Amino acid sequence: MTKKVYVGMSGGVDSSVTAALLKEQGYDVTGVYMKNWSQDLPGMRCPWKEDYQDAKRVAVQLGIPFKMYDFEKEYRHKVVDYMIAEYQAGRTPNPDIMCNQEVKFKLFLETALEDGADMIATGHYAQSIDGQLHAGVDGNKDQSYFLCRVSEAALRKSLMPIGAYEKPQVRGLARKFGLATAEKKDSQGICFVGKVGIKDFLQQFVSSQPGKIIDRSGKSIGQHDGALFYTIGQRQGLGVGGGLPYYVTGKNMEKNEVYVSTDLQDARLWSDEMTLASIHWINRPPNESGAYMVRTRYRAELLDVASLRQLQDGNWHVTLHDEVRALTTGQSAVLYEGDRVVGSGIVCS
């Protein structure tokens, strides 16, 4: 029997090609636009209507049914409120990981299955193979990092066909299929705000107070807009001029202070160990004596793990062979075994 697949179509080239490939492979394809965010903000226009129309245009070209799921309320609660709370607590979250965990591979999957689908599909550069998550073939575009909190059950119901291609090949397929989105530029910025920077977005929802920027000697050398806007290792946006560039080495949320240094070798910028909370293993926990690598932020280098052990409180401690720069609380550290994603935890120290 032909399997019914609901494809999450965002209006971009990747999800458009996903739908075209699955139709070509003989699946019964339905396109779905997830309306996650539609709010315009001062000086920031949300492009959701244009994206919706682009997705619909491709569905018409492919001759497949098309519908919209309105997840805006759930998205605001599960992703946006979470992100804002994390920044207010002084951490640096990853909203794209939470979006995949709570919306695309949970809410969308559940809604699609209730609606008659057998499976869902997305335009991610990753590979879902027998309930396991593997990196995409295109190392430059691989998005497996963002999928680190998806469950095995969800992966068994999910297809990611473009994970087997490199980006230029996907563009080529879009042209071959004659898709309306073939030349559309990739979206930038956080997942729901288009081209808006995170600071501009946060300023619409949180109140902040200026505070001191303090150098290694304890001297105040400038003023910041609010400690919550800054992250470890940050260089841009400090507004401290003259001489060598400054890097954020730490912050104190209670005092509303940001600490900086011009020394890239400053010990506060480097770590060879970390503790991970909110652990999620996709298939099974890692073997503490196994050979693994870890990625501490998207597109960061994969680092060899020297030791891995579970703590009594359920957190995991990871020691690295080499130091990593700008390890940041709130970010996800993703564990790999070869190209397979084992799972992840959120850096807490």
Classify the C-alpha dihedral 237-240-246-252 as positive or negative: negative
* 99: annotated active-site residue: yes
Label the pairing between strands 303-310 and 270-281.
unpaired
**How many of the other CB atoms lie within 10 Å of CB of 61?**
16
**Residue 315 burial class via C-beta count within 10 angstroms: exposed 0-12, middle 13-18, buried 19 and up:** middle
**How many of the other CB atoms lie within 10 Å of CB of 55?**
27
Q: Find the length of the chain.
A: 349
Asked whether 336 and 295 are in contact (CB, 8 A), the reply is yes
**43 vs 45: CA distance, rounded Å:** 7
Structure tokens, 134:
């593997």
Quote the DSSP letter at residue 242: S
Give the gyration radius of the chain's Cα atoms: 21
Q: CA of 173: how far to CAs of 121, 180, 232, 280, in Å?
A: 17, 12, 40, 35
DSSP string, 282-318: SSSPPPTTS--EEESSTTPPPEEEEEEEE-TTS-EEE
* 348: annotated active-site residue: no
* Residues annotated catalytic, as ranges: 99, 191
